Structure 1
Amino acid sequence: MKSFRVGQIVPSSNVTMETEIPALLSARGQVHPETFTFHSSRMRMKKVTAEELKAMDGDSDRCAMELSDARVDVLGYACLVAIMSMGHGYHRESAKRLGQVTKDNDAEAPVITSAGALVDGLHAMGAKKVVVVAPYMKPLAEMVVEYIRAEGIEVTTWRALEISDNLAVAAHDPMNLPGIVAEMDTSDVDAVVLSACVQMPSLRAVPMAEAVTGKPVVTAAIATTWAMLKALDLDTLVPGGGALLSGKY
C-alpha cells in the first residue's frame, strides 16, 4: 500500500484545511487503498486584509522550503484569497515559483494553489456560470469574483459574509450555507461555489446545498483535494466530495 506525504502551506490562523483535506482523503480510503500523511508550514496572518495577505504571501517561499525538507509528494498553498489578491493569474506565477523552491532544495514536488484548483476544477466540470459565497469583506470578495471572471467563468451573483477575523471565519456554522445559497438565484448557473475560502468550513453542508439548488456544489477545500489527487496521478473519486470528486474529472 502506497503512502503519500501531503504538504500544506497555511495561514497561521487557519484551522480548517488541516481538518477538511484530511477528512476528504480519509474518506477516499473507502474506495482506494492509498494512505496519506499531512504536514504543514505556516505563514503569519490574523486579519483577512489586503495588507496582511500580501505580507503573508511573502512567507510562502520559506514554507515551501520547509515542506520540501520533509520530502512531501505534493504541496498545497491553502489560502485562496491571498493568491487572488495579488493580481489576475497569480496562481500560475506562485505555483511555478514555489515549485522552483522545492527543486532548488533537491526535493522537487508539484505545487498547487487553492485559487488555481478552484478555477481549474470549475473548468474541468464545464461550468461557465457560477454563484459564489465568500466570508470576506465586500472589497476582497469582489476581488475574488473578478479573479474568477478573468479566468473565463461568469459569476452571475455573489454573497460576501463580511467576516474579517480569520478565526471567526473558521467558527462560522457551515449549516448556515445552504440557507444562504437558497436565497440566491441559482436557476441559470452550472455550479455553486459554496465556500470560496479554505478557512470557512463547508463539507458538511455540501449534500444539503446540492439538494437545495439541484446544482453541483464545489468548495475551495474540495477543489484543492481534487487538484492534489490529479498532481499525484491518482483517481479523483472521494465519497461525499460532491460532483468534482465523483471520479469523472
Structure 2
Amino acid sequence: MGIYGPLGTIGLISPPRTNETAMYEAMQVVPEGVSWCLSVLGMADHSAEEYKKALAMVETCVKELVERKASAIAFGGIPVITSQGPEYYLQLAEDMSRYAGGAVPVTTDIAAVMAALRELGMQRITIISNYQDAILRRAIGAFETAGFEVVASKGLHLSLAQQLSEGTFDQPFEMAMEAFNEHPDTDGIFFSCPQWPVVRNIDRIEQATGKPVVTQFQAISWWAMNQLGIQRPVPGFGRLLAQPEAAGKR
C-alpha cells in the first residue's frame, strides 16, 4: 500500500491515456487513509481497435499494481468491457485474478456497480451517461442481462476527448432530474462514466428525488472497503458510503 494509504490502496486500471476529472472524483469517495494507484491502458478514443489494444495491456497493468502493493485492484472501463459482450466482465475478473496470482482481490467497475445496486435494492434503474449511443446501448444490455430493468436512460453522446473536457457540474443533476420526472417509479439512478463531474451531485440528487444514486468510483470504493474490512463512512456521497457499517461488513 502507498504512503497515503495506510489503511489500503485501491489499484485502478483506467483505459484513457489522459485522466483529469476522474482522478479528482476518485479521491473524494474514499476515507482518509485509503489511496489510489492508477495504471492506464493508453486508450486514445472509443473504437474497436483501441479497445483491443487496451485489453492487451491488462495483464501488464495488473502485475505492476501488485508489484506496487495495491491492496485491491479494479478495472474501470464499462465501454471497453461491454464491447466484448454483456457478460465479459466475468471473464475479465477471472483473468485479472490469474494475472494477480490470487495475491489481492480484483473486480471490474461494472461488477462493483451491480453489487452496489443490489445492496441498495435497486432493481429498476435509470442510467445516466455521457456515452455515445452505441456505448450506452451496450451498457444497458449488460445490466439487463444481469437481471436489472432499465426503465430510463439518457446520454450526452460525447467523444472521449469531449468527455474529459466538456462536462459541467450541473449536467448530471439536470439529466437525473429530467429522467426522474419522466420515470419517478425508478428504484434509483446509476451514473455511468467517471470522466465527468458526478460525485458531488450524489447527495444533491438523493435529496431531491428520495432515490439512491450509484457511481463507478463510489461503487469501487465501497467494494474495496468491503474487501479490506475498512469500516469508515464517507459522508456526502450518498447512502452507499454514508454509514460505517456500509463498508467492511463482508
TM-score bracket for this pair, using the shorter chain length: 0.7 to 0.9
TM-score by length of 1: 0.88
TM-score by length of 2: 0.88
C-alpha RMSD over aligned residues: 1.9
CA contact (8 A) 2:12 2:75 kept: yes
Aligned residues: 237
Q: 1:242 to 1:72 in 2, by over 3 A?
A: same
Letter in 2 for 1:89: E
* Structure 2 alignment gaps of length 5 or more: none
* Structure 1 alignment gaps of length 5 or more: 30-34
CA contact (8 A) 2:120 2:212 kept: no
Match of 1:13 in 2: 18
Match of 1:179 in 2: 174
C-alpha deviations, 1:90-121, integer Å up to 9, x for none? 222111211111117xxx11112111111111
| Offset at residue 122 of structure 1 (A) | 0.5
| Offset at residue 2 of structure 1 (A) | 4.3
CA contact (8 A) 1:50 1:140 kept: no
| Offset at residue 236 of structure 1 (A) | 6.0
Give, in whole Å, the separation in 1 of the partners of 2:21 and 2:76: 10
Percent identity between the two aligned chains: 24
CA contact (8 A) 2:40 2:61 kept: yes
Give, in whole Å, the separation in 2 of the partners of 1:153 and 1:47: 28
Give, in whole Å, the separation in 1 of the partners of 2:202 and 2:7: 28
Q: In the TM superposition, what are the counterparts of 1:104-123 in structure 2 within 5 Å?
A: 108-123=103-118
Q: Is the partner of 2:101 in helix, strand or coil?
A: helix
| Offset at residue 220 of structure 1 (A) | 1.3
Match of 1:32 in 2: none
Match of 1:170 in 2: 164
Letter in 2 for 1:8: L
Give, in whole Å, the separation in 2 of the partners of 1:57 and 1:4: 26
Q: 1:186 to 1:220 in 2, by over 3 A?
A: farther
Give, in whole Å, the separation in 2 of the partners of 1:223 and 1:37: 15
CA contact (8 A) 1:64 1:102 kept: yes
Match of 1:233 in 2: 229
Letter in 2 for 1:61: E
State whether structure 2 residue 29 is matched by structure 1 residue 24.
yes
